[in-house]
Amino acid sequence: MAKNITPRSKDYSQWYQDIVKEASLAEHSPVRGSMVIKPTGYALWENMRDALDKMFKDTGHENAYFPLFIPKSFLSKEANHVEGFAKECAVVTHSRLVSTEDGVDVDPDSKLEEELIVRPTSETIIWDTYRGWIQSYRDLPILVNQWANVVRWEMRTRLFLRTMEFLWQEGHTAHATEGEAVAETKQMLEVYRTFAEEFMAMPVITGVKTESERFAGAVETYCIEALMQDGKALQAGTSHFLGQNFAKAFDCTFQDRDGKLKHVWATSWGVSTRLIGGLIMTHSDDDGLIIPPRIAPWQVVIVPIYRKDDEREAVVAYAEELKNELKLAGIRVKVDARDQYKPGWKFAQHEAEGVPVRLAVGPRDVENQKAECVRRDTREKQLLERSAVVTSVSALLEIMQQELLSAARERMQANTHEADSYDAFKTILDEKGGFIYAHWDGTAETEARIKEETKATIRCIPLSGDKTPGNCMVTGKPSAQKVLFARAY
């Protein structure tokens, strides 16, 4: 067990913080609620971003960039939208500082005529822009995505999971028909599911949010929900069908093939640096981070081991040769030849940082043309023939990627329950946690009561699985299908 990491069994929340720190992913900044994403954390985010970006482009989307600042009046144009975001807005009111005896102060003469909101999300500024881009059905669809920072004034923050400023992507598409917009919403949900499972090795349940959990301004919110190791759920991505709400709020119409003027149909969809929190809590253990190879900043680290100065040169040269061979095969690999640290210390650090595969090579390995290979997740050790290093490591990375997903899937299944009564529901929640399928009568009242009494929320109405009708576990009223409950982050 790593010295600086609190075991999960002792204090799960502290374990999470320790992992973020020991893996050098991020740290708190002096501005309350903001974080600094450190180079290792950012390299992880770059790999996630690049994989998602490719999937967006492969489905016909282009990137663009819209302004950080939104005029205050824009927010209020869509009634639900402003209600959802008004209480957590960073507001810019002035444009200048003046020197004072103690330093600087805000120049009162620089007060803005209209205050600007630092974007919490960009629907309003984007739909105001789309009005100018769309005249005819020929201008549709617009399939645009933006990688950006957004700000939501959160009081209780946790690194990655909930921060005042975070990085994300937000797709905003415009369509001529409702059907196309709904299809786009579902397509992007599927992109998120695929990304979560195939890159992050994080299994998810796809579904629809209830009205009370819907995005402010959406007609329907689709989501992917993941289950963390402590039995709590994490909303990992959302895809919204916005209907014509924003088009109407921003007077965005088009002339259709039939010559009639119609309002445009919209979607928006996003995932954020929050995914990194989900990644940590899906795979990691008491020794540190575990990252699936496809998104790991470094996939392999080679540690040369030498006792005397006269051994160093040959061992490091051998390590460099292996590195070059692996690099040629497209593997992200580095040699850790720092003299000031002992091998054991390096091993612990690479484990904390979650490097999937560690190769250790000493003088005997040089002589025998071998390398010791250890995989991060299972600690399985094997002695590889030098000639087989590239093929073995390549295969191992692929196997790890698959097995991390299988293992996470098994954990999720083991922690997924069904409850046929409210009592059973509460017992499972308190004793086991996890996902619970249960019947619900479809009303906001019952949903609120359950949340109030148990702190569990409806994560989603699942798209697949058991669709048998039944009776609500609380009120006994008819229920169309079981829905997915959990306590959540």
Interacting residue with a second copy among 83, 178, 380, 423 (CB under 8 A): 83
Q: Output the CA torsion sign for 324, 325, 331, 337.
A: negative
With beta carbons less than 8 A apart as the criterion, state whether 304 and 335 touch. Answer: yes
**β-pair partners for 105:** 98
For residue 67, how many other CB atoms are within 10 A of its CB?
13
Interacting residue with a second copy among 19, 52, 144, 404 (CB under 8 A): 144
With beta carbons less than 8 A apart as the criterion, state whether 132 and 239 touch. Answer: no
The answer to whether residue 4 forms part of the interface with a second copy (CB under 8 A) is no
How far is the C-alpha of 363 from the C-alpha of 391, rounded, in Å? 23
Task: Rank residues 117 and 473 by Cβ distance to a second copy and give the closer one.
Answer: 117
To 10 degrees, the CA torsion angle through 150, 154, 157, 161? -50
In the complex, the smallest distance separating the C-beta of residue 117 from a second copy, rounded to whole angstroms, is 8
In the complex, the smallest distance separating the C-beta of residue 258 from a second copy, rounded to whole angstroms, is 17
Alpha-helical runs (H) found in 144-258: 178-198, 245-249
Task: Rank residues 331 and 436 by Cβ distance to a second copy and give the closer one.
Answer: 331
In the complex, the smallest distance separating the C-beta of residue 29 from a second copy, rounded to whole angstroms, is 5
The answer to whether residue 62 forms part of the interface with a second copy (CB under 8 A) is yes
The answer to whether residue 137 forms part of the interface with a second copy (CB under 8 A) is no
Interacting residue with a second copy among 48, 82, 275, 305 (CB under 8 A): 82
| Phi and psi, residue 338, nearest 5° | -65, 125
Q: CB-hemisphere CA count at 13 Å for 107? A: 8
Task: Render the burial of 201-239: b for 16+ CB within 10 Å, e for the rest.
Answer: bbbbbbbbbbeebbbbbbbbbbbbbbbbbbbbbbbbbbb
- Residue closest to 291 by CA, chosen among 259, 332, 322: 332
- Sequence-separated (6 or more) residues with CB below 8 Å from residue 101: none
Interacting residue with a second copy among 2, 43, 316, 463 (CB under 8 A): 43
Interacting residue with a second copy among 4, 13, 67, 410 (CB under 8 A): 67
Task: Rank residues 165 and 213 by Cβ distance to a second copy and give the closer one.
Answer: 165
What is the maximum span of the chain, computed from C-alpha positions, in angstroms? 84
- Residue closest to 435 by CA, chosen among 453, 467, 409: 409
Interacting residue with a second copy among 7, 17, 80, 115 (CB under 8 A): 115
How far is the C-alpha of 138 from the C-alpha of 326, rounded, in Å? 49
How far is the C-alpha of 259 from the C-alpha of 348, rounded, in Å? 68
- Considering only residues 165-224, where is the footprint of a second copy by CB under 8 A? 165, 167
Helix (H, G, I), strand (E, B) or coil at 155: coil
The answer to whether residue 98 forms part of the interface with a second copy (CB under 8 A) is yes
The answer to whether residue 93 forms part of the interface with a second copy (CB under 8 A) is yes
Interacting residue with a second copy among 72, 172, 175, 294 (CB under 8 A): 72
Interacting residue with a second copy among 68, 424, 461, 463 (CB under 8 A): 68
Interacting residue with a second copy among 7, 42, 441, 451 (CB under 8 A): 42
- Match 């460099």 to its residue by tokens: 320
In the complex, the smallest distance separating the C-beta of residue 271 from a second copy, rounded to whole angstroms, is 16
With beta carbons less than 8 A apart as the criterion, state whether 203 and 226 touch. Answer: yes
Interacting residue with a second copy among 9, 103, 260, 452 (CB under 8 A): 103
Task: Rank residues 34 and 194 by Cβ distance to a second copy and give the closer one.
Answer: 34
Task: Rank residues 9 and 100 by Cβ distance to a second copy and give the closer one.
Answer: 100
- Sequence-separated (6 or more) residues with CB below 8 Å from residue 471: 439, 441, 477, 478, 479
The answer to whether residue 60 forms part of the interface with a second copy (CB under 8 A) is no
In the complex, the smallest distance separating the C-beta of residue 104 from a second copy, rounded to whole angstroms, is 5
How far is the C-alpha of 96 from the C-alpha of 105, rounded, in Å? 9
Interacting residue with a second copy among 20, 23, 55, 118 (CB under 8 A): 118
Helix (H, G, I), strand (E, B) or coil at 244: coil
How far is the C-alpha of 172 from the C-alpha of 62, rounded, in Å? 10
The answer to whether residue 63 forms part of the interface with a second copy (CB under 8 A) is yes
How far is the C-alpha of 433 from the C-alpha of 411, rounded, in Å? 12
Q: Which stretch binds a second copy (CB under 8 A): 109-117, 325-333, 381-389, 453-461?
A: 109-117
# of chain residues touching a second copy (CB under 8 A): 68
In the complex, the smallest distance separating the C-beta of residue 92 from a second copy, rounded to whole angstroms, is 5
DSSP label at 140? -
In the complex, the smallest distance separating the C-beta of residue 125 from a second copy, rounded to whole angstroms, is 7
The answer to whether residue 330 forms part of the interface with a second copy (CB under 8 A) is no
Interacting residue with a second copy among 13, 14, 54, 91 (CB under 8 A): 91
The answer to whether residue 13 forms part of the interface with a second copy (CB under 8 A) is no
Which helix H or strand E contains 318, and what residues bound it?
A: helix 309-328
With beta carbons less than 8 A apart as the criterion, state whether 116 and 69 touch. Answer: yes
The answer to whether residue 27 forms part of the interface with a second copy (CB under 8 A) is yes
In the complex, the smallest distance separating the C-beta of residue 56 from a second copy, rounded to whole angstroms, is 12
Interacting residue with a second copy among 19, 23, 151, 301 (CB under 8 A): 151
**β-pair partners for 269:** 171, 239
Residues of this chain that bind a second copy (CB under 8 A):
27, 29-31, 34-39, 41-43, 45-46, 62-76, 82-83, 86-99, 103-106, 110, 115-118, 125, 128-129, 132, 138, 144, 148-149, 151, 153, 165, 167, 340
